[in-house]
Amino acid sequence: MGGKNSSAAFRGIQVSFCDSGKGKVLVLLHGFLGAKEIWAGTISDLERSYRVIAIDLPGHGRTPCIGYAHSMEMMARCVKAVLDHLKLKRYVIIGHSMGGYVALAFADLFPDQLKGLGLYHSTAYPDSEEKKKPAQGH
């Protein structure tokens, strides 16, 4: 994956992220049990025209857990800490699956920072009761 790997402080941990390209800023958030590396192919295409920031959310990739459970709002604040560390003011956030939920929480908390919001294999609706149940073996 191109770009520079770095980290930013948030609530006593170091949040891992990569930063590549130049231009308008796109922020990529992975899904549950994912990591910033899932965006490698996407980043190699986008970094030709945009500055792309991909973040390992708490408890994923190279970013340690903060506690037993991470709320979407807490992870949104973590994303904001990374973007503030980079002195970025306005950006587009694209979230995959759980990253989409984090992006929506970010939009609720920090609407003035967003130029745009994209949900990739995600939804603005809460999970159904059926989807919340653990998978059953056959």
Instruction: Write out pLDDT tens, residues 56-93.
Output: 999 999 999 998 889 999 999 999 999 999 999 999 99
Sign of CA dihedral 73, 77, 83, 89: positive
Residue 10 lies in a domain: yes
Strands 25-29, 91-96: parallel, antiparallel or unpaired by DSSP? parallel
pTM score of the predicted model: 0.90
pLDDT digits (tens, 9 = 90+) for 116-136: 999 999 888 776 666 556 545
Residue 131 lies in a domain: no
Q: What is the pLDDT of residue 126?
A: 72
Residue 60: give the domain boundaries.
Answer: 4-125
Residue 105 lies in a domain: yes
Q: What is the pLDDT of residue 136?
A: 52
What is the rounded CA–CA span in Å between residue 84 and residue 33?
Answer: 25
Number of H helices, E strands in the chain: 4, 6
The torsion angles phi and psi of 78, rounded to 5 degrees, stand at -65, -45
Residue 36 lies in a domain: yes
Task: Report the CATH number at residue 18.
Answer: 3.40.50.1820
Q: Of 70, 66, 36, 71, which is closest to residue 53 (Cα–Cα)?
A: 36
- The residues pairing with 127 across neighbouring beta strands, listed in sequence order, are none
Helix (H) or strand (E) holding 131: helix 129-132
- 43's tokens: 């980043």
Q: Are 104 and 79 in contact (CB under 8 A)?
A: no
Amino acid code (one letter) for 131: K
